[in-house]
Structures are given as C-alpha cells and as structure tokens.
C-alpha cells in the first residue's frame, strides 16, 4: 500500500447497461429469473460498485501484486434501469483501517438515483491469497 492510500480518494466510473447485465442473464439456469423484467440486475449492480472501488485504489496500491477483495456491502437498489442507459458510479474512500478500506458508493442512471450505500474492501497480497485458497481445494 502506498502512502497516498488515504480517505478522500474519489472516483467516478461510467457504464452503459447491455442486455447481458439484466435479471434474466444473472443466472440463465434459474427459470424464475427468465420471466423477470429485463432491467439491470442487483447482482450486476453490486459488481459495478465493486469495480468502481477497485479502480479508485489501483493507483494507491502495488497493483497487481496487491489487490482488494470485497468483504461487506450495504447498498440499496432503488430504481430499475433498462439496457442502453448509462450508469455513473461515484465512490469515496472514507476510512482506511490497516488493510480495511471503507467506501461510500452512489450510482445514478441519468434519470434516477439507483443505489446508495457503503462497501468495505480488504487489501490482499495476491500470491499469498492464492496460496491459501489452493489449500482449500485440495
């Protein structure tokens, strides 16, 4: 981690919703999802919030040796977004507690606020993480 990894880091990321990120695409094997509306899925929203937080800190860690993994998410999904709309996600790093990073997250689709909340990530050493993970699958 670099000395620049401090509260106050803000990052904005834009993403246009494709049809492949709608509820029916979330789990194609789930019949229940197949009959649901073709709107941006909450599962993909969570991934978009994570992606934005990752992009925010890459310049402030020794990427790719150091990476971050999500350990908590508390975010709303307040409005439906159809494919074709552009989502803007804004994150702000609010706390650095050792290797634990706390972010405020917010997303807007150009019409509605679609998400607001908090996301926590943890800085890892990728090689050490992979070694521990490999022991789990033996």
Positions marked active-site: 42, 50, 77
Q: What is the 3-state secondary structure (H, E, C) of 27-90?
A: CCCCHHHHCCCCCECHHHHHHHHHHHHHHHHHHHCCCCCEEEEEEEEEECCCCCCCCCCEEEEE
Residue among 34, 27, 16, 37 nearest 83 (CA): 16
Sign of the dihedral through C-alpha 97, 100, 101, 106 = negative
Separation of alpha carbons 85 and 22, rounded Å: 12
Q: Collapsing DSSP states into helix, strand and coil, what is residue 12?
A: strand
């Amino acid at each position: 981690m670099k000395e620049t990894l401090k509260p106050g880091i803000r990052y904005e990321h834009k993403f246009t919703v494709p049809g492949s990120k709608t509820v029916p695409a979330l789990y194609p094997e789930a019949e229940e999802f197949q009959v649901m509306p073709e709107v941006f899925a909450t599962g993909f929203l969570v991934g978009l919030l994570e992606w934005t937080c990752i992009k925010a800190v890459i310049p402030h860690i020794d990427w790719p040796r150091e990476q971050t993994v999500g350990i908590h998410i508390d975010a709303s999904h307040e409005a439906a977004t159809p494919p074709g709309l552009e989502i803007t996600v804004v994150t702000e790093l609010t706390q650095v507690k050792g290797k634990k990073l706390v972010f405020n997250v917010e997303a807007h689709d150009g019409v509605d606020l679609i998400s607001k909340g908090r996301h926590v990530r943890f800085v890892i050493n990728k090689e050490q993480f992979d070694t521990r993970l490999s022991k789990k699958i033996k």
